[in-house]
């Protein structure tokens, strides 16, 4: 419970600077991503808004199982079959996974999301990625994908937080 409370607090604190930075970002540069469940049906959309200090990620999702779910950026812009085509977590700096890791988190790590009555509305800020350019661009040669997992990320287990199977995926940028 303490870990969940700490994660929720961290998510809120991370989102506060994003609210100020969003006013500075050009909304025309936002990237909208359709999320699909394992059956191929749309479960909602996620917007990626570049800011001067990272990317603001806002999701409006439906038809998710109730509970806590891992929410990560993956290294390859592909969402085929069981979504393993998206590869592992996006980790260009090759550091350990998780907020509880001394050398983490890596660029793809983000707070868990919570679905209630099938719905999750999420607003998180990721200071470790950019849309293009820099050390962790989402639009690199492999592209990138957003993944929702069946269970909660424990923020410590390697390499992916023991978050369970992949239940929804959206291509942020396709591989080039």
| Partners of 126 in the β-ladder | 55
One pLDDT digit (tens) per residue for the chain, 176 residues? 455 444 444 444 444 444 434 344 455 688 999 999 999 999 999 999 999 999 999 999 999 999 999 999 999 999 999 999 999 999 898 887 777 777 778 889 999 999 999 999 999 999 999 999 888 999 999 999 999 999 999 888 777 667 889 999 999 999 88
Q: Angle 114-119-125 (CA atoms, 0-180°, nearest 5)?
A: 55
pLDDT of 103? 78
Task: List phi, psi (to 5°) of 55.
Answer: -130, 130
**Sign of the dihedral defined by the CA atoms of residues 80, 86, 165, 123, in that order:** negative
Spatial separation of the C-alpha atoms in residues 63 and 118, rounded to whole Å: 5
- ω into residue 159 within 30 of 0, thus cis? yes
Distance CA(52)–CA(30), nearest Å, equals 13
pTM, entire model: 0.82
Contact 89, 159 (CB under 8 A): yes
Question: Domains (ranges, CATH) in the chain?
Answer: 31-173 (2.60.40.200)
Does residue 114 sit in helix, strand or coil? Answer: strand
């Amino acid at each position: 419970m303490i870990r969940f409370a700490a994660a929720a607090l961290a998510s809120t604190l991370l989102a506060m600077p994003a609210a100020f930075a969003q006013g500075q970002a050009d909304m025309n540069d936002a990237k909208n991503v359709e999320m699909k469940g394992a059956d191929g049906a749309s479960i909602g959309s996620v917007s990626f808004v570049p800011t001067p200090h990272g990317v603001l990620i806002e999701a409006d999702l439906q038809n998710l199982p109730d509970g806590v779910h891992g929410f990560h950026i993956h290294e390859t812009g592909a969402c085929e079959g069981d979504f393993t085509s998206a590869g592992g977590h996006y980790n260009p700096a090759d550091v350990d996974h998780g907020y509880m890791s001394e050398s983490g988190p890596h660029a793809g790590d983000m707070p868990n999301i919570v679905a209630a009555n099938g719905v999750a509305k999420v607003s998180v800020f990721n200071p470790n990625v950019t849309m293009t350019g820099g050390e962790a661009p989402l639009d690199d040669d492999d592209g990138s994908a957003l993944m929702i997992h069946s269970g909660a990320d424990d923020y410590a287990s390697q390499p992916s937080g023991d978050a369970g199977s992949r239940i929804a995926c959206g291509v942020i940028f396709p591989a080039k």
